[in-house]
Amino acid sequence: MTKKTFPLNQAQLEEVIKKYPTPFHIYDEKAIRENLRRLFKAFSWAPSFREYFAVKAAPNPALLKIMKEEGAGADCSSIAELELSHMANIGGEKIMLTSNDTPADEFQRAIELGAIINLDDISHIDYLEKNAGFPEVLSFRYNPGACIAGNDIIGRPEEAKYGLMHDQLLQAYKIAKDRGVKRFGLHCMVISNELHSDAFINTARLMFNTAVEIYKETGIKLEFVNLGGGIGIPYHPEDNAVDLEYVGEGIHKVYKEIIEPAGLGGLAIAMESGRAITGPYGWLVSTVLHEKKTYKDYIGLDSCMANLMRPALYGAYHHITVVGKEDAICDHVYDITGSLCENNDKFAIDRWLPEISIGDRIIIHDAGAHGHAMGFNYNGKLRSAELLLKEDGTVELIRRAETLDDYFATLNFPGCRYQMKK
C-alpha cells in the first residue's frame, strides 16, 4: 500500500493560492532530491552509474537544475529538450540524445553540445555522418523483438517503431567502427511504467548478453549499457512501489554472472528514469467550479485534460483527495471533469469521494511526470503555472501560466493582435 500525501496543509495551500491561482502543478524539491539519491545508492556497486533524467517527463530547467546538482544528466529527444538541458548547465556526455525520425538540426545541436547520440535505425548512420558528423560517443537503440515482453504502454517490442533488430545492431557497430567511431554504448527501452521489479533484471540480463556478443563479434568494448527507464510508480494506493534496492542488487548479480567473466568489468550502467524521479512528487491543484446532476453526478474543475491528459489518453488512474476532507467518509460517487468539448475530459469516472462542494480544492496526485509536459491548447485552453516547493518551505514560480497574448502570439492575420486588458 502507498499512502497518498500532499506536502502542504490546508492553510499553507490557501496562502499559495492567494498568490498563484489554481490550476497549477507544484513539485516537492526535497522529495525529488531524496528519491534521486536513493536511485544512485541502489547502483552504488556499479563501476559507474549514470542517470539521464528523461526531460520529456518534466521539461523545466528549474527541475533539471536539481537533477544536475544531484549528479544526473539529461535524456533528450528533441532540440527543445537539448536547449532546456543547456539552460540548466547540463552539457557534454551528461546529455544523451535518443530520438527517432530525427531532423538534421537536432543532430547538429547535439554535436555542438558534445552529447552522446543514440541512433534509432541503421540508416541513420549515413544521415548523421552527412548532416552532422559523428559524436565522440555513439550508441544504438536495440529492439529485441519477441526475445522480451513489453507492456501495455510501450507495447510489444516487435510492434514498436523504436530501435534496431538484432542483426542490424551488429552490422551497425561494424559500420560505425569502420568509419572511425571509437567509443560506443548500447541502449534498450522496452517497458514503461512497470511495477514488476524482476522485469528490469530480465532486461539487464538480455542487454548484458548482447554486450558480450557485440564484443565477440566486433571487438568493441562498450563503455556503457543504458537499461532505459520504465520504472513505474504506484498510482493506485493499493500498488506497491518498485523496490529499487532489490532491482539494483538483482542487476549486480547478473553483472557479476555475465559481464565480469567476459572481461568487460568496467562497463558502466545507465538509466533514463523520468516518471520514477518526479512523478510521485508533483500534484495538479484545482478548484471546484460546478456540480452537475443528470444521469450521473459531475464535479467540474477549473482544470481539464489540457493540464493532465493521462486519464483521457490511457484511461490512467490518478488518486484524488479533497483538501480538508482527507479523513472524511467516501460516500459519494462522482465523475470529475474538465471543460473541454470532449466527453473523455475526465480525471475520474465513478470515483468514490467525500461530498464535494463548490469552491473545494482538489489535489490530483502523481502528476509530477507527463502531466504539465503533455499539455496542449485545444479549445484555446491556456497551460497552467508550475510551482516548486523549495526545501526551505518557500514556493517559487518556475513557469508562469499562459495568457491569451501567448496563445495569439504566433498568429499572422490582420487585426488579430489581441491585447490583454490591464
Catalytically annotated residues:
341
- Work out the angle at residue 98's Cα, subtended by the Cα atoms of residues 376 and 234, and round it to the nearest 5 degrees: 60
Grid cell digits, residue 287 = 478548484
- Is 342 assigned to a binding site? yes
Angle between helices 79-87 and 104-112 (to 10 degrees): 20
At residue 18, what are phi and psi to the nearest 5 degrees? Answer: -60, -35
Q: Which of 241, 251, 228 is nearest to 160 (CA)?
A: 228
How far apart are the C-alpha atoms of 337 and 294, rounded to whole Å?
14
- Hey, CA dihedral for 232, 325, 301, 331, is it positive or negative? positive
- Is 194 assigned to a binding site? no
- Is 273 assigned to a binding site? yes
- Is 300 assigned to a binding site? no
Grid cell digits, residue 318 = 490518478
- Is 272 assigned to a binding site? yes
Q: How far is CA 74 from CA 15, 66, 67, 68, 110, in A?
A: 34, 11, 8, 8, 12
- Is 314 assigned to a binding site? yes
Q: Residue 257 CB: number of other CB atoms within 10 A?
A: 11
- Is 310 assigned to a binding site? yes
Q: Annotated binding site for pyridoxal 5'-phosphate, which residues?
A: 230, 272-275
Annotated binding site: 230, 272-275, 310, 314, 342
